[in-house]
Amino acid sequence: MRVVCAGDEFISGDLLARAVEVELERVGLAGKFDVLDTPWPTAPFGEVDGVREAAGDPQRLAELVRGADALVTHLAPITADVLAAGRGSLRVVGVTRGGPVNVDVPAATAAGVPVVHLPGRNLGAVAEFCVGTMICAMRGLPAAAAQLSAGQWDGGGFRYDRTGLELRAATVGLVGLGAIGLRVAELLRAFGSRVLAADPYADPAAAQRAGVRLVDLPELLSECDVVSLHARLTGETRHIVDAAALAGMRPGAVLVNTARGELVDTRALDAALASGHLRAAVLDVFDPEPPAPDDPLPRRPEVLATPHLAGASRQVAEESAARIAGEVARVLAGEPPEHCVNPDVLAGPPT
């Protein structure tokens, strides 16, 4: 089997190749590997020939994929031209992401190529990031650390009116209760937090097991000290946190967004912070991304802003490579994968 492994500075092509080699041996197959890497995240990703959040040269990838049995990547641009170059040989595309937006899925489906992926691949890293930054934001730590770094000792953080809540005393609302939301709920339960969730598609049994009470969005906003966003971006959820939603939040609450920047009306959020209605915000995602140089939110002292790092951990890189290797090996061995975005192609062409 010839496998093209297109990596980057987070999940390298060599890491992918080693993982696929192990899994191919497990199913009795041997592999030959072509490896290339892009300079992401040193160089940003973007839109490439109709796919999103992609990095790399599709022409170079198309050259390598000719005659290949499998293509495995993190965020290389799997465009219609790349898939066309693999026509007749390419049997599977593996993407180490929850949502393979860097793949032209309709083109893959038309070519009869299954696209396997990894839902929830970074849920542990994101959940820990959420809980850790909730603590930082509620206690005012980012602004205090910045002042001390600038040579200013601010002892006023011990004034009662400036102190924040501990998680054990906080009600936390999760907008979206998928894999990441459930993991956040489990961690919060260990702290003693009361946890609410708003998600019309949530599994009530899973929510009950995690100790979460399902409510509608207005109730969640009005009752919670912290609101953390975990919803997918759809037409329904774009700007789900708008001026009206922010006005409905409890005064002094904290907003955490590690999902998608487009979920939040950023101008309305800036106004809510400027007025003092919200205590703080944690923003790991932006609209657009990276944020514009004149975007006021990352510069606000009450905002903990990070450059889309919630899912960055060594475990994510290593485990993602191993998991996608298993999915690719299963397809090449004629076995069904666990997660495929276009499962109809697995049945083959209609007779």
DSSP 340: B
* Residue 293 sits in the same domain as residue 343: no
Both tokens of residue 237?
């959820």
Alpha carbon 241 to its chain centroid, in Å, reads 18
* Residue 46 sits in the same domain as residue 161: no
Q: What is the CATH number of the domain that holds 231?
A: 3.40.50.720
- The total of structural domains in the chain comes to 2
Is-contact 53 75, C-beta < 8 A? yes
* Residue 65 sits in the same domain as residue 149: no
Comparing C-alpha atoms, which of 76, 77, 123 is closest to residue 98?
Answer: 123
Q: Model confidence over 246-303: pLDDT tens digits?
A: 999 999 999 999 999 999 999 999 999 999 999 999 999 999 988 999 999 999 999 9
Q: What is the 3-state secondary structure (H, E, C) of 220-239?
A: HHHHCCEEEECCCCCCCCCC
* Residue 117 sits in the same domain as residue 130: no
* Residue 49 sits in the same domain as residue 92: yes
Q: Is the pLDDT of residue 349 over 70?
A: no
Q: Model confidence over 46-102: pLDDT tens digits?
A: 999 999 999 999 999 999 999 999 999 999 999 999 999 999 999 999 999 988 999
Alpha carbon 283 to its chain centroid, in Å, reads 13
* Residue 62 sits in the same domain as residue 147: no
* Residue 218 sits in the same domain as residue 111: no
Q: Is the pLDDT of residue 143 over 50?
A: yes
* Residue 6 sits in the same domain as residue 134: no
pTM: 0.89
Q: What is the DSSP string of 96-162?
A: SSSS-TTB-HHHHHHTT--EE--TTTTHHHHHHHHHHHHHHHHTTHHHHHHHHHTT---GGGGSGGG
Place of tokens 């991304």: 289
Which pLDDT score, from 0 to 100, does residue 348 have? 72
The burial of 181, by beta-carbon neighbours within 10 Å (0-12 exposed, 13-18 middle, 19 or more buried), is given as buried
Residues in the chain: 351
Is-contact 343 114, C-beta < 8 A? yes
The pLDDT of 101-118, averaged and rounded, is 97
* Residue 170 sits in the same domain as residue 297: yes
The pLDDT of 124-153, averaged and rounded, is 95
* Residue 280 sits in the same domain as residue 337: no
* Residue 132 sits in the same domain as residue 233: yes
Strand 226-229 vs strand 171-175: parallel, antiparallel, or unpaired?
Answer: parallel
Place of tokens 């944020």: 291
* Residue 324 sits in the same domain as residue 255: no
CA distance 71 to 60: 13
- List residues with catalytic annotation: 260, 289, 308
CA distance 88 to 85: 9
Domain of residue 317: give its range: 2-121+313-347
Q: Is the pLDDT of residue 351 over 50?
A: no
The whole-chain average pLDDT of the chain stands at: 96
